[in-house]
Chains A and B, each alone.
Chain A
Amino acid sequence: MKDYLVLRVIAKLMIPFILLFALYVQFHSDFGPGGGFQAGVITAAAIIFYAIIFGLPAARAVVPDRLVETMVAGGVLLYAGVGVAGLLLGGNYLDYFVLGRDPVAGQHRGIFWVEVGVLVTVAGVMLKIFYMFADRGLDTEDDA
């Protein structure tokens, strides 16, 4: 697909907006619909779009496998870490009230980091699955 000028230009135009929309869905989820899961999927979709248009090696250069695998585990650890932080600050596990100066600020901080954790894991898993599938396609082509 690398040779189609229209696709390349449109992709370059759209990907920043897709990523921006993912960030909007992520950080505006307090007020509108959305959250970590949806934002993670949209982020992964932007990078998959890039991989489809510019080829898998180009996408791997932007988001290497190592980073993706770190994201898969890092998001869950971040989520669980918010719970542990609540424990260390004297609350129950996943109790956000103790994380800030007052309970509402603590809630905001807790929800923020938890949603970031969900985003990171979901985006990582979606990308990893796509990389795996696309990789196998390349392998079978080489064998044939």
Chain B
Amino acid sequence: MMAAVTLVIAGQRNLFAVVILFGIYSFLMATVLVALDAVDVAMTEASVGAGISTVLMLSALHLSKGVEIKPLHKPLLPLLVAVATGAALVYGTLGLPAFSDPDAPIHRHVVPRYIHDGPRETGVPNIVTAVLASYRGYDTLGETTVVFTAGIGVIALLRRVRRRKQGGRA
């Protein structure tokens, strides 16, 4: 079903339909993540992918024309690059351990300690929260800083445009 949505997105020229289809794609992705038991990630996907980014795309659409223009050249080279990259990624997944394999390296390093000692050490039953906020606190601090930097970047970019339009300092 997701593949079908992707094909329709690629073929569609009406940008409004593309934005809505992206939202549908994100919701499908969220259901896949729920099926994989990654509820936290699914929640993020649904709220960010389907919610906020749809709104932002719509407001960006408001500033541009509603229909994508015809490409000037044949899309053969980009298609070739995309297929080659996809094939390389699929080839890479062949080397990964099988899904939910308990002997996979990632499950044998620090994960047993998080699962056994996490609830006792932090008093938080949800291991995802315990890892994100406590054991990997530095990483989450870095992520928050990334969000902060992105916001500052957008402010810096869009503010200057607006000031120039009002004829601020010329």
Contact = CB atoms under 8 A, between A and B. Distances in A.
Interface of A: 25, 29-35, 37-38, 41-42, 44-45, 48, 52, 69, 72-73, 75-76, 79-80, 83, 94, 96, 103-105, 107-108, 110-111, 114-115, 117-118, 121-122, 124-126, 128-130, 132-137, 139-140, 143
Interface in B108-133: 121-126, 128-130, 132-133
Contact of B122 (A107, A117, A134, A135): A107
Given A45-B51, A139-B162, A34 B59 contact: no
Given A31-B126, A111-B122, A129 B151 contact: yes
B154 A132 contact: yes
A130 B134 contact: no
Contacts of A136: 63, 158, 161-162
A51 B63 CA distance: 17
Interface of B: 39-40, 42-44, 47-48, 51-52, 55-56, 59-60, 62-63, 121-126, 128-130, 132-134, 137-138, 140-141, 143-145, 147-148, 150-152, 154-155, 158-159, 161-162, 165
Given A104-B122, A107-B123, A136-B158, 10 more contacts: A42-B47, A79-B140, A107-B121, A107-B122, A114-B137, A115-B133, A121-B148, A121-B151, A122-B144, A125-B147
Contacts, number: 142
**Of listed B43, B56, B128, B161, residue having the most chain A CB within 10 A:** B43
A124 B116 CA distance: 36
B150 A125 contact: yes
**Of listed B39, B52, B60, B152, residue having the most chain A CB within 10 A:** B52
12 contacts: A29-B129, A33-B39, A35-B129, A37-B44, A72-B148, A96-B134, A107-B121, A128-B155, A130-B55, A132-B159, A133-B60, A133-B158
A75 B148 contact: yes
Given A72-B148, A114-B133, A121-B148, A129 B126 contact: no
A104 B123 contact: yes
Nearest to A72: B151
Interface SS, B side: helix
Contacts of B147: 121-122, 125
A94 B141 contact: yes
Contact of A41 (B48, B60, B122): B48
A76 B43 contact: no
Given A104-B122, A107-B121, A114-B140, A137 B62 contact: yes
Nearest 7 pairs between A and B by C-beta?
A: A125-B151, A33-B39, A104-B123, A133-B59, A94-B137, A111-B133, A107-B122
A135 B158 CA distance: 10
Nearest to B42: A33
A33 B137 CA distance: 18
A7 to B, nearest CB: 15
